[in-house]
Amino acid sequence: MAAKKKPTPKTASSGPTSTSLPPVSILFRYAPWLVAVLGCVLYLNTLFHDYALDDAIVITENMFTQKGISGIPGLAKYDTFYGFFKEEGKANLVAGGRYRPLTPILFAVEQSLFGGSPFMSHLINALLYGGLCALLFFTLHRLLTGQMESRTASWIALLAAGLFAAHPLHAEVVANIKGRDEILTLMGSLAAWWLTLKAIDDKRPALLLLAGLSLFFGLLSKENAITFLAVIPVSLWFFRKDWSVSTITTLWPLALATILFLLIRGSVIGWNTGEPPLEMLNNPFVKLVGNQYVFFSGAERWGTLLFTLLLYLKLLVWPIPLTHDYYPVILLSTTSVIHSSG
């Protein structure tokens, strides 16, 4: 007679415990939605705000944007400030010029579709910011997965993207409609970074062409996307320990996108970087002596740079006091007020 099999006793490890981490598949599935919703919801209070600050330059008083879609050729043809100043030469008030046509083009489209509704523009900013936070999660997760287990990478990416979404310093960018250029610049740059990592990890070199296109759109939003031409290869060296010639040469679409942008920019606004203006609004490195402005000395300039840099780093950790515009002159003025009142 066959012996009956004894049932296998259940062990404490057969079921989830209260201290176990969520499976990575669940965390990875919902984390992007969490940070996207957080980033968007935090700025829903801006939906009923009006235009403010630099919105006049690119929206309300820009002759091309106000024409709607028919004004797009002008936005692509001239310096970004030309549509506001409406006369040759005055757009060069800021040394070096500005060529950032992508966001004004979007504002022109919104003008045609919604008739210049700040509500819709604020809503679009909030939605784009939420998408940016999700994209940051994906990029960090992809970057870290090669260095640690996927679950740990997911948690670090979630915490970092959540902190980014909630950081008060981003209020100026999202709440100020014109700040969309900053959002789209980082979106294009992060997309280029994520696509580059995916192309290398999955051995899909065709994705590098999309990475170059993404960086190009980031550059069309604001010129500081050019920093990612260095950030991306340095990240490969630091996180992947990959500095091989074969890997670096595969990044040619990023370099090509940058060169193409610089050629277009130079053909539109010229190659002359211009002389620094001798007025404080557009040059924080001048001072009033008697009845006229003069340039800072070398020591004054470097002292101001160091002070402002340290103040910005402080604001990343302790963002108090908040102001409507983190411009060096305002930072210095705010600090002077604090010192005099303390």
In three-state secondary structure terms, 294 is strand
Give the domain-ending residue among 234, 269, 304.
269
- Nearest C-alpha neighbor of 136 from the set 178, 194, 89, 83: 194
Q: 176 and 315 share a domain?
A: no
Quick one: pLDDT at residue 21?
Answer: 47
Quick one: pLDDT at residue 327?
Answer: 61
The residues, any chain, with a CB within 8 Å of residue 219's CB and separated by 6 or more, are: 185, 188, 225, 226, 257, 258, 261
* Residue 158 is assigned to a structural domain of this protein: yes
* pLDDT band at residue 107 using 50, 70 and 90 as cut-offs: very high
Q: Residue 281 pLDDT > 60, yes or no?
A: yes
Give the domain-ending residue among 269, 300, 327.
269
Q: 194 and 304 share a domain?
A: no
* Residue 87 is assigned to a structural domain of this protein: no
Quick one: pLDDT at residue 24?
Answer: 55
Q: 147 and 190 share a domain?
A: yes
Q: 159 and 197 share a domain?
A: yes
Quick one: pLDDT at residue 95?
Answer: 65
Q: Residue 128 belongs to what domain range?
A: 24-49+116-269
* Residue 205 is assigned to a structural domain of this protein: yes
Instruction: Measure the CA–CA gap between 143 and 255, rounded to whole angstroms.
Output: 21
* pLDDT band at residue 316 using 50, 70 and 90 as cut-offs: confident
Instruction: Measure the CA–CA gap between 36 and 39, rounded to whole angstroms.
Output: 5
Q: 28 and 162 share a domain?
A: yes
Helix count and strand count (H, E) for the chain: 15, 2
Instruction: Measure the CA–CA gap between 209 and 215, rounded to whole angstroms.
Output: 10
Q: 142 and 194 share a domain?
A: yes
* Residue 194 is assigned to a structural domain of this protein: yes
Higher pLDDT, 248 or 191: 191
Give the domain-ending residue among 269, 302, 331.
269
Quick one: pLDDT at residue 274?
Answer: 65
Q: 173 and 230 share a domain?
A: yes
Average pLDDT of the chain? 84
Quick one: pLDDT at residue 98?
Answer: 86
Q: pTM of this prediction?
A: 0.82
* Residue 124 is assigned to a structural domain of this protein: yes
The residues, any chain, with a CB within 8 Å of residue 236's CB and separated by 6 or more, are: 200, 242, 243, 247
Quick one: pLDDT at residue 177?
Answer: 94
Q: 155 and 227 share a domain?
A: yes
Quick one: pLDDT at residue 276?
Answer: 75
The total domain count for the chain is: 2
* Residue 109 is assigned to a structural domain of this protein: no
Higher pLDDT, 17 or 110: 110
* Residue 220 is assigned to a structural domain of this protein: yes
Range ranked top by mean pLDDT from 27-31, 113-117, 223-227: 223-227
Instruction: Pick left, alpha or beta for residue 297 (phi over 0 → left; psi -120 to 50 → alpha; otherwise beta).
Output: beta
Over the stretch 197-207, which tens digit does the pLDDT of each residue have? 999 988 999 99
Q: 322 and 243 share a domain?
A: no
Q: Are 65 and 104 in contact (CB under 8 A)?
A: yes
Q: 299 and 253 share a domain?
A: no
* Residue 162 is assigned to a structural domain of this protein: yes
Percent of the chain past pLDDT 90, that is, above it, reads 52
- Nearest C-alpha neighbor of 175 from the set 300, 341, 48, 9: 48
Q: 310 and 253 share a domain?
A: no
Query: For the chain, what percentages of helix, strand and coil (3-state, to nearest 5) are there?
Result: 70, 0, 30
Half-sphere exposure of 137 (CA within 13 A, CB side): 28
Q: 149 and 259 share a domain?
A: yes
